[in-house]
Structure 1
Amino acid sequence: MINLQIAKAPTPEVSGEPRPKAPLEETLDWLRSEVWFLPVLDQRGEDEILGYNAHGCFD
C-alpha cells in the first residue's frame, strides 16, 4: 500500500522540507505484508548473530 500524498511529495533536497512520515497503521500494514513473513535465511542463533562467543563475551 502506497500513500499517494507521500509518493507525490517533492523530495527534501528540492523543497528543503523534511518528507512527511507515513501514518503508523499504514507502515505496520506494509511491514505485515512485505517483511514479517519472509523466510529466515540465516540459520545462526541469536548469540552468533550478535557476536557473543561460547563464554558469553562479545567478540
Structure 2
Amino acid sequence: MAKRKTDPELYLPLTPAMFHILLALADRERHGYHIMQEVDERTEGKVRLGPGTL
C-alpha cells in the first residue's frame, strides 16, 4: 500500500537539526533567530543551526 504524504513515518528518521528545532518549538512559539539561540543553549554549543537550516 502506498504511503500518504501525511504519514508521519515519511519524516523519520529525523535529522539532528529537525529534532532540535522541534524541541525548541515544543514549549512555545519561536521564530528563526530565537530557535537558533535555544538550540545553542540546550546543546551547550554542540549543535549550531545556520539561518539556511531554518
Shared fold per TM-score greater than 0.5: no
Larger Cα-atom Rg: 1
TM-score by length of structure 2 reads 0.29
Higher helix share: 2
Question: If the length of structure 1 is used for normalisation, what is the TM-score?
Answer: 0.27
